[in-house]
Structure 1
């Protein structure tokens, strides 16, 4: 079986979802009372722009980065070595719905743009065992910023991620799952365009002729272009919210 085109489409990009180094640093700055050498697990790390930035931001940390796609992990290893932080980052190929780690192994779990794969509530519940008492889970999740989104935006999200809800609803889900909500903040539009949408639009344009006649690939390209068009028109109605959560007890 060949590599799914969704992975091919995202190879070689700076990020596999919206985000920025500034947002990563801002979220990390909200963590208090970490040990001098915190153990961090980056779940669904992709090519690991945020992984490398975490290593730069916290010189004492050690990071385990997991993803199911080996080429992403290879890209991360190269960029970490280039940044001089490679000795503190370990890459492991693993699925986020079966993470091969003992309970209470980490001080911080990090998941930028990945928890939707298993579901917001499901990820919060299943990953909590990995945290030490008082540990943090920092993640980004798609959320409505308005109570009454436009029909076009609602149709798009109901098709691709019907679990999307408001920031307030997600805060309540986190609290019910046993976390204290330390803080949340929305990603700026630049975090969508500069590191994700503009690179991926260029990528699909480069791939278009090569995949002509491949229904799966053509459908993925069409979806990527539709997604960016909807965000261009309705990006004030929804976006990614960064959640900084602390395990209770």
Structure 2
């Protein structure tokens, strides 16, 4: 089966979405009363920058990392081995809408930049069964920072992720899905620019002449160009919010 170009475009990048090790550590620091050897599930891990950072930050944890793209998982395994944490990270190729794990298998679910694939509410509802009582779900999600976005920003998000809403609305969704809100915080602009868009821009420029005449690839590159241009002009209107949630009951 042919690999979708969006995966090819993100292979070799340090991250497959906005984020930072500092934000990963900040979210982890909020977690309380974890067991001595907590079990983590990293959903849609990509090449696993945050996976390796979690393993470093929580030296007694074990992490199962899932993604649908095997080359991402292979890169994560190489990174984990290089960082000396490979013995505590297991990779599983799996779709986030059909995770092959028993109920109540994990103390913490982690999902940086991935839940949008199935949607915020759907992810919260379908993944909840995997958490043990009092377990945590830590994730980043695109949100509006304004009630009145500009027409250009609104048009872009209506095209790519019309479910985007405000932090307050997502907090309400999480509570109705059976979670308590432990904390939320926005990712800084550097998590978008330095850590994601700068590498994407370089990758796109490298690929652009190689994929000329490939409609799928050209469309993906055009979308990346548009995405970065919109963020450049409207970064104050939207971004990622880190949500640290705890399963009720």
**2:180 is paired with a residue of what secondary structure?**
strand
Q: How does 1:43-122 map to 2 (within 5 A)?
A: 43-122=43-122
CA distances 1:45-78 after superposition (whole Å, capped 9, x unpaired): 0000000000000000000000000000000000
CA positional deviation for 1:194: 1.2
**1:56 is paired with a residue of what secondary structure?**
helix
- Rounded Cα–Cα distance in structure 1 between residues aligned with 2:161 and 2:191: 20
**2:246 is paired with a residue of what secondary structure?**
strand
Q: How does 1:217-232 map to 2 (within 5 A)?
A: 217-232=217-232
- Which residue of structure 2 lines up, in the alignment, with residue 25 of structure 1? 25
- Rounded Cα–Cα distance in structure 2 between residues aligned with 1:35 and 1:143: 32
- Which residue of structure 2 lines up, in the alignment, with residue 167 of structure 1? 167
**1:206 is paired with a residue of what secondary structure?**
helix
**TM-score normalised by L of structure 2:** 1.00
- Rounded Cα–Cα distance in structure 2 between residues aligned with 1:201 and 1:231: 13
- Rounded Cα–Cα distance in structure 2 between residues aligned with 1:186 and 1:24: 12
- Rounded Cα–Cα distance in structure 2 between residues aligned with 1:175 and 1:198: 36
CA positional deviation for 1:195: 1.4
Root-mean-square deviation (CA), in Å? Answer: 0.4
- Which residue of structure 2 lines up, in the alignment, with residue 4 of structure 1? 4
- Which residue of structure 1 lines up, in the alignment, with residue 145 of structure 2? 145
**TM-score normalised by L of structure 1:** 1.00
**2:240 is paired with a residue of what secondary structure?**
strand
**2:109 is paired with a residue of what secondary structure?**
strand
Segments of structure 2 that go 5 or more residues without pairing to the other structure are none
CA positional deviation for 1:237: 0.3
- Which residue of structure 2 lines up, in the alignment, with residue 41 of structure 1? 41
- Rounded Cα–Cα distance in structure 2 between residues aligned with 1:40 and 1:138: 11
**Which stretches of structure 1, 4 residues or longer, exceed 2 Å deviation after superposition?**
none
- Rounded Cα–Cα distance in structure 2 between residues aligned with 1:206 and 1:158: 29
CA positional deviation for 1:43: 0.1
- Rounded Cα–Cα distance in structure 2 between residues aligned with 1:79 and 1:54: 13
CA positional deviation for 1:190: 0.1
**2:66 is paired with a residue of what secondary structure?**
strand
CA positional deviation for 1:2: 1.1
Segments of structure 1 that go 5 or more residues without pairing to the other structure are none
